[in-house]
Amino acid sequence: MNKLVFFYFLITYNIVNAGGFVFPNVPYEYGRVYLFNTTEGAETNRPEFSIYYNGVYAKSKVGEGWKFTKDMNSDLIIQVLRYGTDMMQNGLSGCYIPRHGIIYFDQIGNPVASLSICFECQRIHFWSTEPLPEPSTSSSEKKIIQTEKQFADLEALFTKFGIPVFKNTPEYAVHIQKNDSLYSSNGEIIFDYTNAEIGFTKVSVSEFQKWIIKEGFRLRESKETAFAHREGDTTSWTYPVLSDNQGTKISFNELYSIGEDTPKSPVLTEASIVNPEIKLPNGISVGMSLSQVQSIFQVWDGIAYPASIVVNYKNANVRYLFEKRTLVRIELVMI
């Protein structure tokens, strides 16, 4: 065991035995800090609660984030979390619009824990692949004073690390606008796999339901009818559609034709996905950073920060659309 690891273990052991709080409570390889909920809509509509939670990325996450090393996390534990987090989790006000989030990743880039922070409302939220203790709801003037100091120390720590902390939404918008080099996405990269034996298999309605991450969540089911555009042709088709109120729409092929008694088994034909709770079989979902998507394809040549990545397979075309280097939409067409 090297000296640095031993030192970290010793500090962690002492903090735990002194009744402090250590996070993450799972092994991890590296962390990154992101901004999210940075638009006016985060205040007028329902803000996203966590930067990452149970397989789902915050759709409002922007940029590639900042490195959050294990040394930085040690400072977080020693200077802030060791004094307890009950009041920090309960919050010191009724609002909660977190702007900062730390995602902790394992060796292969899968999130194993996250910490979401609202400096304005002085509240935090933890998530982990392992159970976490429920925070105590007891309060006192002494605890409030201590919690206020913890948030001040946390803000000072972020400032020291070069992570911006502002007082309100407009200031975050100005930051993003002024730092084009951190958030801009332009151009398109096209990958051609039409001669390769890879692609998407036929996806039925029940198979598509397996793409949904959140247990118990279902898209709205409906049917649409299409008509032939040839003059004199009265043929029509009715087909199933899955959708939500965010703009996601999944269309399947002909369910039955007028005049036919036997319905056909529908398979996916087109999909426009903006819901982060839907994950493709290749592991890609809305809310992922551009670099995460690029790492899945293992291709880094060409445009550094494209606004669109197109992947053409023998049986499907997929377009991944990015804004502020975050995946915001997936368009899939089966051939």
Sign of CA dihedral 66, 157, 49, 30: positive
Beta bridge partners of 103: 32, 114
pLDDT of residue 210: 92
pLDDT of residue 197: 84
Amino acid 36 reads F
Closest Cα to residue 100, out of 77, 118, 127, 80?
Answer: 118
Residue position matching structure tokens 């997936």 = 330
d(CA 72, CA 79): 10
pLDDT of residue 264: 67
Structure confidence by residue, pLDDT tens digits, 43-57: 777 899 999 999 999
Write out the E strands in the chain.
30-35, 52-53, 56-57, 62-68, 100-105, 111-118, 123-128, 188-193, 220-227, 236-243, 249-252, 256-257, 268-273, 308-313, 316-323, 326-334
**27 preceded by cis ω (within 30°)?**
no
268-273 and 256-257 strand pairing: unpaired
32 CB neighbour count, 10 Å cutoff: 20
d(CA 266, CA 221): 13
Residue 107, C-beta contacts closer than 8 angstroms, at least 6 positions apart = 29
pLDDT of residue 263: 58
Quick one: tokens of 70? 């294990």
pLDDT (tens, 9 = 90+) of the chain, 335 residues, equals 444 444 444 444 444 433 468 999 999 999 999 999 998 777 777 899 999 999 999 999 999 999 999 999 999 999 999 999 999 999 998 889 999 999 999 999 999 999 999 999 999 999 999 999 999 999 999 999 999 999 999 999 999 999 999 988 899 999 999 999 999 999 999 999 999 888 888 898 889 999 999 877 889 999 988 787 777 677 777 888 999 999 999 999 875 555 555 556 789 999 999 999 999 999 999 999 999 999 998 876 778 899 999 999 999 999 999 999 999 999 999 98
The string of DSSP letters for 262-279 reads: S----BEEEEEE--TTBB
